[in-house]
Amino acid sequence: MTSPDAPTHLEAAGHPPHRLSADAAPAPATPGKVGMWLFLATEVMFFTGLIGSYIVCRAGSPPTSYSNLYAPATRLDRLKETRGVVLTDVGADATAAAGAIAAATGKPEAEVARILATVPHGVVNGLDEEGADGLVAALGQLGAKAEAIPLRMSSWPRPYDELMNPLSVDLTTINTFILICSSATMVLAVSAIQRGRKGLCSLYLLATLVLGSLFLGVQVYEYHELLEGRTYPAGISPTGHFTPDVSLFASCFFATTGFHGLHVAVGVVALAIVFLGSLLGRFSAQNFATIEYVGLYWHFVDVVWILLFTIIYLI
Amino acid sequence: MTDVDASPPIAPATPAEAAAAASVEAHAPYMKVLLGLFLLTVGEYFFARFLQDSPAPLMFGLVMMAAAKAGLVAWYFMHLKFERLWVFLVIGPAALMAVILTLMLFPDFVWQPDPLGEPVPAASNEPPRPGP
């Protein structure tokens, strides 16, 4: 068995230290590495099935499935001429604004309260043109800011449409880059241990662990906001909360990002184990296969997220 | 005429300098790739924001940028660039099946239902209300 402190095989072969790079490193087909790549091949098929199912659900969704005024899957065939009012500011007297909405629509108190909770995206639906204009005028007299809008339909919630899509592209763009940075620190950790730099390797592994945990934390925060933290307008959810059962979009979103999040969580646990092993000096320039395997898995998780981010959040 | 070497003397690199050079060289491609990934992520963000009303260019551009990002991670970070043929033989069939599955999904894009063209049923969820 080789000593952990022994020089790398490249140094032993006479390569000068400053020429050490991944270009020069041979890639032997060790059983562990073959097994890891076979596992990743099964993961490719798993996520292809998952993303494929998402595409099928989205492509097959009827063009009237989502609207800016009514809950997902509402039958809109007789509601096409209706108008709505978007309340962007309640004004000084919320009670009076609630009274005006109740008088205009006949909606129960709980539903009016939910509309007010979604301001600046409070949607009052079920009005005709005259009713919408009247409500806007009444709310204006009370100091509230409101606007009458027509019904818009869509087969799938579009990004940046805050009346139909609750997902935050801004937050997730930052989170995506966090995961990409963790992938970079991971490959730097592998590079460091290949060069025998154990301390540097531990540092990069710690950075990867922190960044991976941060990604997971942001995703948990996003889930919390969607599931119960915020109240959303009717076009997103009839209950006000974006739970998996409110629409096909919601269930697809939670299924795909949930499975990916599960993979990230497994990766974070694996990174923690490898980091502890690194602190205990179990890896060296000649014994770094475990770090490399965990790195391969981590990069794969990153690749999957790059695709999911584009397909679910941006398109 | 004396044989004088006019070039300045060149001192060999110290071990510390050599280690620093090795460190810089080893990091350089990865940091360049990271910069590329950052630029592509920012590009995707603004592309999606400003072309949200043009579905076809939006989809094409975003898919291309996502493929470039995934390719950079796989090629450099997963070291596919430095791997031998066996890795591609392992991952190839899975990738091929992924492509075939994706191609088989195209009918779902083409044959979409048109419920607006269907007859209007007698009942609906919520009729519009008159003004106050």
Q: Which residues, including other chains, have CB under 8 Å from residue A150's CB and lie 6 or more apart?
A: A83, A84
Q: What would the DSSP string read from start to end of B113-129?
A: --GGGSPPPS--S---B
Q: Categorize the per-residue pLDDT at B84 as very low, low, confident or very high, splitting at 50, 70 and 90.
A: confident
Rounded-to-integer distance, Cα A65 and Cα B116, Å: 11
| Facing residue for B30 by CB, picked from A128, A131, A184 | A184
Q: What is the pLDDT of residues A256-306, one digit of tens each?
A: 999 999 999 999 999 999 999 999 999 999 899 999 999 999 999 999 999
User: Is-contact A312 A219, C-beta < 8 A?
Assistant: no
Most distant CA pair in chain A, distance: 87
Question: Considering only residues 41 to 70 of chain B, which have any Cβ-Cβ distance to chain A shorter than 8 Å?
Answer: 41, 44-45, 48-49, 52, 58-59, 62-63, 65-66, 69-70
| Facing residue for A77 by CB, picked from B45, B112, B124 | B124
Question: Considering only residues 63 to 92 of chain A, which have any Cβ-Cβ distance to chain B shorter than 8 Å?
Answer: 63-64, 70, 74-75, 77-79, 81-83
Kindly tell me if the per-residue pLDDT of A249 is higher than 60: yes
- B-chain residue closest to A305, CA distance: B70
Rounded to 10 deg, the angle between the A109-117 and A94-105 helix axes is 130
Give the residue-averaged pLDDT of B55-70: 92
pTM of the entire predicted model: 0.82
Q: What is the pLDDT of residues A205-248, one digit of tens each?
A: 999 999 999 999 999 999 999 999 899 999 999 888 999 999 99
Q: What is the pLDDT of residues A29-48, one digit of tens each?
A: 788 889 999 999 999 999 99
Task: Determine phi and psi for B64, rounding to 5 degrees.
Answer: -65, -45
Q: Which two tokens stand for residue A215?
A: 């990604």
Q: Is A125 exposed, middle or buried (0-12, 13-18, 19+ CB in 10 A)?
A: buried
Name every chain A residue with its beta carbon within 8 A of the beta carbon of B37.
177, 180, 184
Cα dihedral sign for A8, A9, A12, A15? Answer: negative
Q: What would the DSSP string read from start to end of B39-59?
A: HHHHHHHHHHHHTTT-HHHHH
Name every chain A residue with its beta carbon within 8 A of the beta carbon of B120.
77-78
- Using alpha carbons, select from A22, A25, A33 the residue that is nearest to residue A290: A33
Q: What is the pLDDT of residues A149-161, one digit of tens each?
A: 999 998 899 998 9
In 10 A of CB A278, how many CB atoms?
24
Write down all domains in chain A, each with its CATH number in brackets.
Answer: 35-59+162-314 (1.20.120.80), 81-150 (3.30.1390.10)
Q: Categorize the per-residue pLDDT at B9 as very low, low, confident or very high, splitting at 50, 70 and 90.
A: very low
Neighbour-count burial for A78-108, b at 16+ CB within 10 Å, e otherwise = bbeebbbbbbeebbeeeebbbebbeebbebe
Give the residue-averaged pLDDT of B104-124: 59
Q: Which two tokens stand for residue A65?
A: 């499935």
Amino acid present at B125: N
Name every chain A residue with its beta carbon within 8 A of the beta carbon of B49.
160, 169
What are the distances in angstroms from CA A165 to CA A29, A72, A121, A235, B60? Answer: 47, 11, 12, 8, 21
DSSP symbol at B129:
B
